[in-house]
Structure 1
Amino acid sequence: MAKRTAVIDLGSNSMRMAIFERTSRYAFYILGEFKMKVRLGESAYENGGAISEKSMQKAYEAFCEFKSIAKAYKCNKIFCMGTSALRDAPNSNELISLIRRNLGLNLKVVKGIDEASLGGIAALNLLEPMSEFITIDIGGGSTELAMIKDAKIVDAVSLDVGTVRLKELFFDKKNLKGLNDFMKEILKDLPKNFKSKNIVTIGGSLRAISSAIMQAQNYPLRSVHNFSYKFESQKEFIQNLTKASVLDLDKFYIKKDRFDTIREGAYIFLSVVNSLKCEHVYTSGVGFREGVYLSDILRPSKKFPPNFNTSVRSLQDRFLLNNNKMVVKYAKDAFVTLKPLHGIDDKFIYELETAARLHNLGQCLGFYGEHINSANFVINALNYGFSHRQKALIATIIGLNGKKTLGEFEKFRDLLPEEDIVKWLSFILNFAKILDINCTHKKLKFELKSQMLEISGAKEQFMTKENIKKIAKPATFAISFVS
């Protein structure tokens, strides 16, 4: 299998490339992302879908640059995929032949239903687990939806409506009457079984809307992947966005490079979501390109093995010298033994175990500030398979380092459980770290007798005793070593 893979996505508006690096069999991370506006669909929707000579030249030049970048990154494999504008164009073979002949790249035209399924594969594997949801990916020329139930894609559909298509046919002409009639016809192609309380948004327009909502809320995390909100609470904001003038878009926290098509994207989103009866919106920072990559490395199942998280494993592969196996064991055993004192729900064991696995990521930068650096690694690089609440909690468990107050992690308070829960989990992690360092990976046993935690399997050491004393206990109890 290739160590580095580039996936190029030629859309109606932009061409993007993501470079993926594998760190082990199923673990990977994104090494680089690149974007060029080639506007392949520009003027095409009024001319039978044909790609103009100008747009074809832009696309060719972009492929030249992207191939050069992929070569500089030493990519062993390059996937080139074309979506809506390419599959609609009667002259698409001209561009495909040009790219193959001059650059040696195989540009593949992706069917709409396959594009929808690939977005579904990315969301299914890389978002926080959900029993059922529908993905919506709004592009320049089309909108793809995939329905997922019980960890399987059960249906997919592609609608001939996209931001560039609406811009050229209706918004630029201020033809709102024609726009509404056009959208009603499009929605007739949406299967009646496409209904879900949960919708996962994919694509640049929808990420831009989520990013705007985050900025308006002064949200404590910057990562848009896995950001969620209740649709009704933001419906008015999105409606106002569709009606805003270009000059007012910056008031909605929209970046300038999105001004040209963001209103069209918001309009499509509102129209489709109202038909889906959606209640909760989950933002995906991954989509078509990740789906293409995952389809390659996860063949034939297109799913990660059970209980495997690619971000956790990738961080371990890159930055840890060992797997912290005993820290995880001590933390879990201590949690279970001390439950009569803390009373915390067992669902938090997963976050505690993850924190135990990754607690010393920052060690690769040096000893000083290790726990803070480790917490920052979690916030910025634990990207896949975790909700924002989980990321904030894992980072805080690590970064708190047994202290009495939340300190700099106070900014995550709205995302965290009760403060006592956080303090207990941080205490248990630090307790497990001390035992791992000072008890040389012995098989320790824990037993709670009244207000006394007895540890058997290792003799008490002076350093162990002193280090345990430094940790702020969330409750009054004693700790002793017994033979």
Structure 2
Amino acid sequence: MAKCTAVIDIGSNSMRMAVFQKTSRFAFHILHEVKSSVRLSEHAYKNEGYLQNEPMERTALAIGEFLSIASSFGARKILCVATSALRDAPNSSAFLSRIQREYNLSIKIISGEKEAYLGGMACANLLPSVDEAISVDVGGGSSEFALLRNGKVEQLYSLNIGTVRIKELFFDNNDINGAVEYIDEALKELPDFGTHTLIGIGGTFRALTRAIMKKEEYPLRKLHAYTTDTNTFLHFTSQILEAGPKKLRSLFIKPDRFDTIKPGTLILERIIRHTQTKTLLSSGVGVREGLFLSDLLRNSGDKFPAHYNPSVRYLLDTYGIHSDHALQCAHLSKRIFDLLHTHLGINLVHRQELSIAAKLLSIGVGIRYYAYQRHSHYLAMSALDYGLSHSQIALISHLLLFKKGSSSSDLIPKGSYGSLLPDEATLDALSAILWLSHILLAARINASDITLSIDSHSGALVVGSKSLYLAREQLKNIILPKNFTLMLKE
């Protein structure tokens, strides 16, 4: 596939484009994103679904500028899909022909089920793994549902309930009861999914999630993988539905969403009550990422290889200068963890975060060697987006911080992400293992050159190697937990 790919999603309300760049076979990052509120379906639902001239003109102009942006990044592949607005419009062929003629762009109209699949597949690949969940994408003209089970997309549904459709048919006529009846009737087509987790996709869910995060002063500025409970979410949606413009501002809703936020909120509120889900997981990915991944992963069953994380690989591809040492640290830290986790009282689930932190240990060197730990921390906190929970991201990033003579729990910034970290004893133990591994490999030897064992009498970790002179000198720089004793043997 082309190294740089632009993906355009033409929705009923907004049109968006993301420009993706590959850094290796499966690793990628986003170079640019652009959105335009073209409102392609504006007034269509009052006119038997026919697209109106002014919205079509807006959309055509935006497409032209989107393509210009894609060209500036050297995108050699353009993937463009359209959803509900063009799917439903009797005059869609005229618009498609115009765009083909003026811009030489082929727009593919996808079915509601395909739209549901792309969104669900993106979630399955780029969110922390969940055994079972339903993804819900509330768009301008329709809402799509996908059942995800053990990383696979299984059931797909598309219903004609969308923010612009509900606004024009009911909210513009102040018929809220009619909207509720219409939505509830449509939801009867869904089966009983029997899952307690709902993954929210789409502009309305993202807008509500961002507002809740600001209201709660959430410590991370990451929407993707943010988790909340149904009661918290529904309490907030009730405030939105009752609010006037001034109140909406105070609830952190942006003015450009004032006309569609209430119809979208009502749709989500009815969906959550209907599905009886308990946990809500926010997705920053959707159809665009799904379309990109369907191209990227077309020869691997639309799935990444086992235990593969594209964000970690992207960081290593881009900043992992002389990363062999970090990989050796990862091998050694896992060996030490396996020997000591029971004695130190560390939960086995943290082995993965320790390993990732070790791999990313030196990415900050690519920016500047001095204070590289701080740069590594910043890069990890900023760019670890996919496949990890916020608690995992906070832990991995924090472990990359180091200060001579300080324990890891001493380095937590005040009023920051401390609430997402494990208890101090666990944090200090993990940090000690990570930086001990780094020090034991100070001579840039291989992890396989180091022997590890537990002394039967003292319970100390016994480390053996022919190259420990520098390590002995540097051990004074780290603080080991009180129940963590060490013996070096040359």
TM-score normalized by structure 2? 0.95
Tell me the alpha carbon deviations over residues 278-336 of structure 1, each in whole angstroms, 9 at most, x when there is no partner: 00000000001000000001014000011111111111111102252211011111112
Tell me the alpha carbon deviations over residues 192-226 of structure 1, each in whole angstroms, 9 at most, x when there is no partner: 23332000000111011111111111100001000
Unpaired segments of 5 or more residues in structure 1? none
CA distance in 1, matches of 2:341, 2:131: 29
Indicate the residue corresponding to 2:421 in structure 1. Answer: 416
Does the 8 A contact of 2:18 with 2:32 survive in 1? Answer: yes
Pick from 477, 486, 489 the counterpart of residue 470 of structure 1: 477
Q: 1:188 Cα shift?
A: 2.1
Alignment RMSD: 1.5
CA distance in 2, matches of 1:36, 1:477: 56
Matches within 5 A, 1:68-83: 68-83=68-83
The structure-2 alpha-carbon separation of the partners of 1:233 and 1:400, relative to structure 1 and needing over 3 Å to count, comes to farther
Indicate the residue corresponding to 2:135 in structure 1. Answer: 135
Q: 1:231 Cα shift?
A: 0.7
Matches within 5 A, 1:268-283: 268-283=267-282
Q: 1:476 Cα shift?
A: 4.9
Unpaired segments of 5 or more residues in structure 2? none
Pick from 453, 456, 460 the counterpart of residue 464 of structure 2: 456
Matches within 5 A, 1:5-24: 5-24=5-24
The structure-2 alpha-carbon separation of the partners of 1:420 and 1:178, relative to structure 1 and needing over 3 Å to count, comes to same
Indicate the residue corresponding to 1:397 in structure 2. Answer: 399
Indicate the residue corresponding to 1:209 in structure 2. Answer: 208
Indicate the residue corresponding to 1:57 in structure 2. Answer: 57
Q: 1:368 Cα shift?
A: 2.2
Match for 2:131: what amino acid?
A: S
Mean alpha-carbon deviation: is it higher for 254-263 or for 449-458?
Answer: 449-458
Match for 1:428: what amino acid?
A: I
Match for 2:28: what amino acid?
A: F
Q: 1:258 Cα shift?
A: 1.9
CA distance in 2, matches of 1:339, 1:93: 63
Is 2:163 the partner of 1:158? no
Is 2:445 the partner of 1:445? no
Indicate the residue corresponding to 1:338 in structure 2. Answer: 340
CA distance in 2, matches of 1:336, 1:183: 53
CA distance in 1, matches of 2:270, 2:396: 37
Indicate the residue corresponding to 1:226 in structure 2. Answer: 225
CA distance in 2, matches of 1:71, 1:146: 34
Match for 2:466: what amino acid?
A: A
Indicate the residue corresponding to 1:428 in structure 2. Answer: 433
Tell me the alpha carbon deviations over residues 18-42 of structure 1, each in whole angstroms, 9 at most, x when there is no partner: 0111111111111111011111010
CA distance in 2, matches of 1:455, 1:8: 55
Match for 1:458: what amino acid?
A: K
Count of residues in Structure 1 that have an aligned counterpart in Structure 2: 481
Secondary structure class of the residue paired with 1:253: coil
Q: 1:465 Cα shift?
A: 1.3
CA distance in 1, matches of 2:202, 2:179: 22
CA distance in 2, matches of 1:245, 1:270: 18
Is 2:131 the partner of 1:125? no
CA distance in 2, matches of 1:470, 1:406: 14
CA distance in 1, matches of 2:444, 2:165: 65
Does the 8 A contact of 2:129 with 2:387 survive in 1? Answer: yes
Indicate the residue corresponding to 1:482 in structure 2. Answer: 489
Is 2:114 the partner of 1:106? no
CA distance in 2, matches of 1:171, 1:347: 48
Secondary structure class of the residue paired with 1:45: coil
Does the 8 A contact of 2:192 with 2:275 survive in 1? Answer: no
CA distance in 1, matches of 2:11, 2:342: 57
Q: 1:256 Cα shift?
A: 1.9
Tell me the alpha carbon deviations over residues 381-432 of structure 1, each in whole angstroms, 9 at most, x when there is no partner: 0000000010011111112457223334452221111111011111111111
Is 2:366 the partner of 1:360? no
Secondary structure class of the residue paired with 1:260: helix
TM-score normalized by structure 1? 0.97
Does the 8 A contact of 1:51 with 1:91 survive in 2? Answer: yes
Does the 8 A contact of 2:441 with 2:471 survive in 1? Answer: no
Does the 8 A contact of 1:137 with 1:201 survive in 2? Answer: yes
